[in-house]
Structure 1
Amino acid sequence: MGYVRRRVRASVDALEHLVGGLGTALLALGALIWLIVVAAACLVGVGLLLVPGALRMLRSVADRERARLSRWDGPLPEVGRSPVDRRTALRDPVVRRELGWVALHAVLGLGTGLLGLALPLYAAQDLTFPLWFRLLRPEDGAPGLVWWRIDGLPDAVLVGLVGVAWLVAAVVCGPALARVQARPGRWLLAPPPGVDLSLRVAELTATRAAALDAHAVELRRIERSLHDGTQNRLVAVNVLLGAARRAVRRDPTRADEILERAQDAAEQALGELRTVVRGILPPVLDDRGLAGALAGLAGGCAVPCRLTVDVPVRCAVAVEATAYFVVAEALTNVVRHSGAGAVDVAVRRERDRLLVTVSDDGHGDADEARGSGLTGIRRRVEAYDGRMTLTSPPGGPTRMHVELPCGS
């Protein structure tokens, strides 16, 4: 059952990506036609003025495909925004790769998108045919690829069985079609090797700075917790023990009362130390795993929380800890700031990435600049080379999506 559920979910995701790829393929087809027109006009000298605009259009369509692919199977960096001179455009490796992509995607992307969309449509049409076949005349036959005459319910049920075959084909072939559709973009829209290396160096520099900032913030938080809580408790224990030592000779009854207060203060200090330790790396992750730890957070949330976890195997400890803190901080923000009546938390593993989504039905308008803890979440995620996307229009709903690399 779990395998079937994963296959259905993969096919639904593939259909979503095929439809998105079909949209960019139509844009690529329009761009290709316009580029051909501009190239033909350049032969007579009147198209040179149109070249910059055509190149900007090409870059815009390519960037839209980069953004689509980045949302699906890992980031695909955008290339530089510097304008390309029309006299040297064809010598630019990025422009040449984008020209190759627009030609491929206009044909391959359009074909795979139409095929991927046709499979579930044929399945829905044929599966429901026994419910509405009486609206057709027998001589009209069945719509689609069914060639036999429909004389009654048995013939209509046979069409429904064809719909089952279409459905199986959609589930089996959909993910493969989506990968074929995305392959030209992954191959041609990625930056050239040298550019990719420089972008990666810049990205690692930024994430290293974010990691150092997050580490400094975490150290300050631990120091503040120890100084304001545990240290004060231990000072109180020391004072009380000194008072009890002096009271032993004068008033043993009073000394017993003071020792009891010292014991209470020591227990409170131990409790605060456990809280600090849990803030560094929650022991519940080792004891119950990520699903159990998140269930504890959801159960303790003041806002009704629906939790869905689909992580069949354990991830690295650092990844699980990051996901735990993301959910904990997000739920804290929901309780304090959103005014929501319900919150949904979904955690699943997709290939080599752990995906965490937190959605609420609150009033929205969440802003990282207002110090609601979102900046800390982003720093922690980016320090682990992950990505965070926040959508929170005024009036809601608010949706936070986090992707964390977790290996293969």
Structure 2
Amino acid sequence: MSTGAPARPGLWATLRSQVVAAAVATQWLVLGLGTALLALLTVVVLLLVAALCLIAVGLALVGPALRVVRWVADLERRRLTAMGHPTASPYGPVPTGWAEILRFVRADVSTRRDLGWLVLHATVGLVLGLLPLELLSSAVQEISTPLWWQLAPGQATLAGGFVTVDTWAGARWAVVTGIVWALLWLLLSPLLARGQAAPGLRLLAPHPGQDLPALVARLSATRAAALDAHAVELRRIERALHDGTQNRLVAVTVLAAAARRALTRDPASAEPILERVQDSAELALAELRSVVRSILPPVLEADGLPGALAALVAQCAVPTRLEVSVPVRLPVSVEAVAYYAVAEALTNVTRHSAAQGALVSVQQRGDQLWIEVTDDGSGGAAVGQGSGLSGIRDRVEAHDGTLEVRSPIGGPTLVQVVLPCG
């Protein structure tokens, strides 16, 4: 008995994780089914436009059709990004005039790749999106057959409708086949989700040769953002030293001079002055330590990102839950940016959101670090000039990361940061 007991929690945990993985995969497959239906409709529209082009009527429709293709492809890019595979949009502006548009379509690599993806997604993606729904419906129908087959004689079936259930033995076999369908759903759904996403990951990402100018422009912008962030950080440190520590040290110098003069005239009066000198020196030392900690918090160096975030969440005035899944130490620069992004986001939650609760989720997904800070406050947060969210954006973009803020009026608010950490 004692040897078999420890295995049960592991079995249930494995089964639970498999069910969760299958449910998440089914969610993405259903969303992919939606884009596949749009892709199928777009293919039909393109065929009609191509047919109309034979009589010159469809030439004016080439531009709108191209925009529809881009719109559907961008929807799939958003789905892939939400799945954890950030996919950039490679498009340039669409020219005006049907002749220029036709030349653009023939020469543009992205358009040809979009069309290839459109055909694959409208066929293979559509089938893969339907399969988990069929497996689930068959499993539910056949497992529940003993409950209702007598109420609808001749309509209870198994094996996809090829076998009619009209006896108790057949109803029991239906339960067995229903369990088989459920197991197939559990095992195949994650594979089907990857198969449905594969054409988009291959064809909707920017072509390596085509994206070189965009890469150079992005790197130039990133370098400029890094320099700006560095200059802002130096100005912040300079202000902290000038307005705080330096003023304290000036006060120490003035009071020390006053104490020297008092010692020659009235030694008894020097005691309170020396006490003020000590207080000012201690304040200056405390402010200097605060500036040093703001450069790189010691808790981040000592306890890593999970420990530093736990300390940060514990100090937040709004009740905050922390979920961290970072199995290894990340580069120091990445941990610092993640720490300050969470710190600034929680500061905004405390000061401006009127929230009752917040959630900080930090997960490493492959070579990316995903940071999400959500709250149930009043919403309305925006990345504006001089705001805390602007500071997050500058730090994140300086490390080739992305910042997304979703904060409708009335809430909730989501601040999402994605940082490369490979």
TM-score, reference length from structure 1: 0.88
List per-residue Cα deviations over 1:328-385 (Å, max 9, x = no partner). Answer: 1011111111111111111111111111111111111112226431111111111111
Identify unmatched segments of 5+ residues in structure 2: 1-9
Is contact 1:69-1:76 (8 Å) kept?
no
State how far apart, in whole Å, the 2-side matches of 1:229 and 1:150 are: 87
Equivalent residues in 2 for 1:349-388, closer than 5 Å: 349-369=364-384, 371-388=386-403
1:296-322: CA deviation from partner (whole Å, max 9, x where unpaired) = 111111111121112222222111111
* Matched residue, 1:194: 209
Count of paired positions: 405
Amino acid at match of 1:80: G
Structure 1 match to 2:313: 298
Structure 1 residue 43, shift from structure 2 partner? 3.7
Q: Give deviations 1:88-147, integer Å, cap 9, x for gaps.
A: 6334333222221111111111111112444455555566x3895588557654667495
Corresponding residue for 1:113?
Answer: 129
SS class of match (1:306) = strand
- Is the alpha carbon distance of 1:166 and 1:264 closer, same or farther for their aligned partners in structure 2, counting shifts above 3 Å? farther
Q: How does 1:166-205 map to 2 (within 5 A)?
A: 166-205=181-220
- 2:145–2:156 Cα contact (<8 Å) kept: no
In terms of mean alpha carbon deviation, does 230-239 or 80-89 score higher? 80-89
Q: Measure the CA separation in 1 of the matches of 2:285 and 2:187.
A: 56
Counterpart of 1:82 in structure 2: which amino acid?
Answer: V
Identify the residue that residue 98 of structure 1 maps to in structure 2. 114
1:234 to 249, 256, 260: 249
Partner Cα distance (1:305, 1:154) in 2: 54
C-alpha distance in 2 between matches for 1:378 and 1:295: 23
Which of 86, 89, 92 is the equivalent residue of 1:77? 89
Query: Which stretch of the first structure deviates more once superposed, 333-342 or 49-58?
Result: 49-58
In structure 2, C-alpha distance between the alignment counterparts of 1:153 and 1:294, rounded to whole Å: 59
Range with greater deviation from structure 2 (238-247 or 143-152)? 143-152
The AA in structure 2 aligned to 1:66 is: R
Q: Which residue of 2 aligns with 1:60?
A: 71
- Is 2:416 aligned against 1:401? yes
Contact 2:45 2:65 in 1 (8 A): yes
**What letter corresponds to residue 407 of structure 2 in structure 1?**
S
Cα distance 1:227–1:45, how it changes in 2: closer, same or farther (>3 A)? closer
Letter in 1 for 2:419: L
Q: 1:31 aligns with which of 42, 53, 72?
A: 42
Q: Residue type matched to 2:91 in 1?
A: V
Tell me, in whole angstroms, the C-alpha distance in 2 between the residues paired with 1:153 and 1:400: 56
Structure 2 residue 51 is the aligned partner of structure 1 residue 40: yes
Mind listing any 5+ residue stretches in structure 1 that lack a counterpart? none
Q: Structure 1 10/347 Cα, relative in aligned 2: closer, same or farther at 3 Å?
A: farther
**Aligned mates of 1:8, 1:207 — CA distance in 2:** 41
Instruction: Find 2:276's aligned residue among 261, 265, 271.
Output: 261
Which secondary structure state, in structure 1, belongs to the residue aligned with residue 387 of structure 2?
coil
SS in 1 for 2:210: helix
Q: Any conservation in 1 of the 2:158–2:174 contact (CA below 8 Å)?
A: no
- Matches of residues 245-284 of structure 1 in structure 2 within 5 Å? 245-284=260-299
- Decide whether aligned partners of structure 1 residues 140 and 116 sit closer, same or farther in structure 2, where only a CA change above 3 A counts: closer
Taking a change above 3 Å as real, the CA distance of residues 372 and 217 of structure 1, as seen in their structure-2 partners, is same
User: Secondary structure in 2 aligned to 1:348?
Assistant: strand
Would you say the 8 A contact 2:406–2:413 is kept in 1? yes
Alpha-carbon distance in structure 1 between the residues aligned to 2:146 and 2:317:
47
Check 1:121–1:382 CA distance in 2 against 1; reply closer, same or farther (3 A cut).
farther
Secondary structure in 2 aligned to 1:347? strand
Structure 1's 4 and 223: CA in aligned 2 closer, same or farther, altered over 3 A?
farther
User: What is the distance in 2 between the residues matched to 1:288 and 1:258?
Assistant: 42
CA distance in 1: counterparts of 2:225 and 2:73, whole angstroms: 30
Q: What amino acid sits opposite 1:41 in the alignment?
A: L
Query: What CA distance in whole angstroms lies between the structure 1 residues aligned with 2:259 and 2:66?
Result: 84
Give the Å deviation of 1:325: 0.5
SS in 2 for 1:402: strand
Amino-acid identity (%): 53
Once the two structures are superposed, residues 41-98 of structure 1 have per-residue CA deviations (whole angstroms, 9 ceiling, x without a partner) of 3345543343333223222222222233233302322311223523663343332222
* Compared CA separation, residues 150 and 213, structure 1 to 2 (3 A): farther
Tell me which amino acid in the other structure corresponds to 2:71.
Answer: S
Aligned CA-pair RMSD: 3.0
Residues 359 and 400 of structure 1 are in contact (CA less than 8 Å); yes or no, is this contact kept in structure 2?
yes
